[in-house]
Chain A
Amino acid sequence: GAGVSQSPSNKVTEKGKDVELRCDPISGHTALYWYRQSLGQGLEFLIYFQGNSAPDKSGLPSDRFSAERTGGSVSTLTIQRTQQEDSAVYLCASSSLGSLDSPLHFGNGTRLTVT
């Protein structure tokens, strides 16, 4: 009964480098979200995967950000040519669909620091 798993837990990278963040949702959960949270700020929606439907990418801040979800399970968030303003905690969450009361289960996040 593992929860949502994210890796790495911490990532320090140099400005201009690409990074990949991984999320392994709870088994059987069809909905997967990526959020970003800067220090002292709220949750900023990035992208939402729901089953086999086209993902909702409306929250991605620029074309340097992309995400994919392979086989309806593991998801990878990629940030190309990182900038200092990309520094934040990136949170992944998953939920089961089919009922109104499907809460999100969050991972512990990846803290990204761009130097």
Chain B
Amino acid sequence: QKEVEQNSGPLSVPEGAIASLNCTYSDRGSQSFFWYRQYSGKSPELIMFIYSNGDKEDGRFTAQLNKASQYVSLLIRDSQPSDSATYLCAVTGTASKLTFGTGTRLQVTL
């Protein structure tokens, strides 16, 4: 079992719709959870982090964490073509090491 798992996609959503990206992790001791966005040919950039159960909202982005079920998700409201990118889930485990999933490619269509 991979430490951090994501569906590779591509996930295709129409402009203006809600994109839902999911991530599961194996280490129950994980404490911090991050979502990064990576455009083709660029380095990852941080979108959001969350470490408490529940929802955290920042503009059009909402991160959701459920530690009991060991999943974290990212919702993007009013999706725009500029949101088209690969979204990487990252988890800080008990050894404080940050582990990334393989990423989900999002395509926002006109």
Chain A contacts for B92, CB-based, 8 A? 100
Chain A contacts for B51, CB-based, 8 A? 100-101
Which chain A residues (98-115) contact chain B, with CB distance < 8 Å? Answer: 100-109
| B interface majority secondary structure | strand
Within 8 Å by CB of A103, from B34, B88, B99, lies B34
Q: In chain A, what residue has the closest Cβ to B97?
A: A48
Q: In chain B, what residue has the closest Cβ to A97?
A: B96
Q: Contacts A91-B43, A103-B34, A109-B43; is A45 near B99 (CB within 8 Å)?
A: yes
CB < 8 Å A-B pair total: 49
Interface centre among A42, A107, A108 (most CB of B within 10 A): A42
Could you give, for residues 64-102 of chain B, a 1 whenever the CB lies within 8 Å of some chain A CB and a 0 otherwise?
000000000000000000000000101010011111111
B29 within 8 A of A: no
Rounded to whole angstroms, the CA-CA distance of A50 and B98 in the bound complex is 11
A12 within 8 A of B: no
Chain B contacts for A20, CB-based, 8 A? none
Complex contact A108–B43 (CB within 8 A):
yes
Q: In chain B, what residue has the closest Cβ to A6?
A: B43
Q: Contacts A42-B88, A100-B32, A101-B32; is A56 near B43 (CB within 8 Å)?
A: no
Chain A contacts for B88, CB-based, 8 A? 42-43
Q: In chain A, what residue has the closest Cβ to B41?
A: A89
B44 within 8 A of A: yes
Within 8 Å by CB of B96, from A50, A91, A105, A109, lies A50
